[in-house]
Amino acid sequence: MITRTFLKSSVLAVLLSIGLGGAAWATDIFLVASYDENDVCGRPQYEAAMDALKQGGFANLSSKGYFLDTRVRPKEQVAKDIEQIKHDIRTQKPRFVFTIDDPAFAMLYQEILQQPETKLVFTGLNRSLDAYNTKAPFLEKRTPSANITGTFEYIFMREQFDMLEAILNKPLKKVAILYSTDSVGLILKDQIIDELKGSQHENSLELFAADDIPTMLAHARTINERDDIDAYIPVTMSVPDPADNTRKTMQAVAPLLTQTIRKIDISLNSSFTEFGFFGGVSIDFYQMGFQSGFQAVKLLKGGRITDAPIEDANRSIIAINRKRMQELGIKLAPETQGIVDTWIN
């Protein structure tokens, strides 16, 4: 039994081989989420992948969900759970393993490479694919050479900065990245830098590492006070708090940052905008999860994995927090207001 990891089994119908040949699997699909079952980033991807399978004609697959909660749980407990999941993969031989976000993929993809009858479809990867492929090869360029494919999380940084200049109606001087030093915070910081390479904004970034809550708040005061910093990107995914010996995730640190920094906070996604940040161009988590689910549908219908190249998430939305906009005294031009997809109050 997986200790402290939420494990949910959902048998949508009887187990069957769905006409693709071979014996029926004990469970058709494992979904392994990096965070908890209600995570604002992971849950839409989880639900969308299942919706894609249903809409693709595979509503009768049995599924099992694992939620690792890596943002707050000790690494030793997560590692123990991963060993159990690997055991389940070896013994139950699922047709597919979906991994949601980087931690789950990083801990499982090498195991899946040793289980050629099982395919892995990922959603929400932010770390460079080359970094994973160098460690254990599974693709050539973006074409799978083994049993792994999926959807990479493009975070629309160039679009973000173009919109930011339009809002400020001036060229950018500096944009701060305030990032946590957990694995996901570091991955996202690197991805922001990578997406802006070669653009006019690649030299506009200034990095601030939030090793803990007191350091984060000290950096927040600096960002607020410096006239040359126009805006900042909160990438404070999991920050240790020595006051109570816990880790604070984005929802908890958001009010601390918005109360301290009186500048535009660029959100990496609309869920963070709901926590009180200003917003901007956001990844659509549901659509990204649906993309990965549809990739699995094509494979279930007989497609070859070499014909299912790794894709970038292809849909963004513009979400703005109206209350934060008013707090900052920002007024959007009518043409900018017209392209906002979601207003969050």
Structure confidence at residue 253 (pLDDT): 97
Give residue 22's identity as a one-letter amino acid code. Answer: G
pLDDT band, residue 6 (cuts 50/70/90): very low
Q: Is the pLDDT at 43 greater than 80, yes or no? A: yes
Structure confidence at residue 270 (pLDDT): 87
Q: Is the pLDDT at 18 greater than 80, yes or no? A: no
Share the mean pLDDT of the chain.
91
Backbone φ and ψ of 3, nearest 5°: -70, 125
Structure confidence at residue 4 (pLDDT): 37
Q: Among 15-29, 151-165, 203-217, whose mean pLDDT is lowest?
A: 15-29
Structure confidence at residue 67 (pLDDT): 96
**Distance between CA atoms of residues 180 and 213, nearest Å:** 10
Structure confidence at residue 190 (pLDDT): 96
Q: Is the pLDDT at 333 greater than 80, yes or no? A: yes
Q: What share of the chain is helix, strand, coil (3-state, %, to 5)?
A: 40, 25, 35
Structure confidence at residue 24 (pLDDT): 45
For residue 238, give Cα distances in angstroms to 69, 192, 333.
11, 18, 35
Q: Is the pLDDT at 23 greater than 50, yes or no? A: no
**Distance between CA atoms of residues 150 and 102, nearest Å:** 12
Structure confidence at residue 5 (pLDDT): 42
Residues 208-223 have a mean pLDDT of 98
What domains does the chain contain, in order, with CATH numbers? 6-154+285-316 (3.40.50.2300), 157-268 (3.40.50.2300)
Backbone φ and ψ of 330, nearest 5°: -95, 135
Q: What tens digit of pLDDT does each residue of 274-306 get?
A: 999 999 998 899 999 999 999 999 999 999 999
Give residue 179's identity as a one-letter amino acid code. Answer: Y
Q: Is the pLDDT at 28 greater than 90, yes or no? A: yes
Structure confidence at residue 19 (pLDDT): 29
**Burial zone of 19 (CB within 10 Å; 0-12 exposed, 13-18 middle, 19+ buried):** exposed
Are the C-beta atoms of residues 99 and 46 closer than 8 Å to each other? Answer: no
Q: Is the pLDDT at 218 greater than 50, yes or no? A: yes
| Residue the block writes with tokens 């006070």 | 225
Q: Element (H or E) spanning 323, and its range?
A: helix 322-327
Structure confidence at residue 336 (pLDDT): 87
Q: What tens digit of pLDDT does each residue of 188-206 get?
A: 999 999 999 999 999 999 9
Structure confidence at residue 40 (pLDDT): 87
Structure confidence at residue 76 (pLDDT): 96
pLDDT band, residue 27 (cuts 50/70/90): confident
